[in-house]
Amino acid sequence: MNLGDILTTRQIVPELKATSRWEAIDELIGVLVDSGRILPEHREPVTAVVKKREQSMSTGIGFGIGIPHASTDVITEVVAAFGRSRRGVNFDALDNQPVHLVTLFLVPQGQFQRHLHTLAGIAKVLRRDDFLKALESAPTAEAMMAVIRDFSSGR
């Protein structure tokens, strides 16, 4: 499972409005609702489970990357939203640096292996300098999606 498999253009925000990790999480969950990936009535329970996970330890893994994630019983397949912030988001990251790329993903409850594989796949591609440079220069959600598909396919 990779980013190219779980994202669509509608699930990408080329410039996040958020300035904090909590705002970024809310904004990306809103993207999942707006794109039909989660139902509007599930917004609050999803927000609660993601924020609970985030309170245990920041998912700002360093290098300008944040990967908030959680398991929930209100979805049946892995879903994700991706946001970029050129100015940076205060994410309480492990390296105390602002986060510029945020990938929020949700996995159905009880799918621990899928959760780990998805997290590992996302982290692997997000750590590539060539991927980060290509994403940084992509002007639109469509261009960002093309970069994500290209690199997620094993380039």
Which residues are known to be catalytic? Answer: 69
Handedness of CA 108, 109, 112, 113 (dihedral sign): negative
The CA-CA-CA angle for residues 87, 104, 92, to 5°, reads: 50
Q: Which two tokens stand for residue 149?
A: 């598909």
Q: How many CA atoms are closer than 13 Å to the CA of 6, on its beta-carbon side?
A: 23
Residue where the block lists tokens 């969950």: 29
Quick check: helix, strand or coil at residue 148?
A: helix
Query: How large is the greatest C-alpha to C-alpha distance in the chain, in angstroms?
Result: 39
Q: Which two tokens stand for residue 119?
A: 């997290």
Q: Which two tokens stand for residue 87?
A: 């100015």
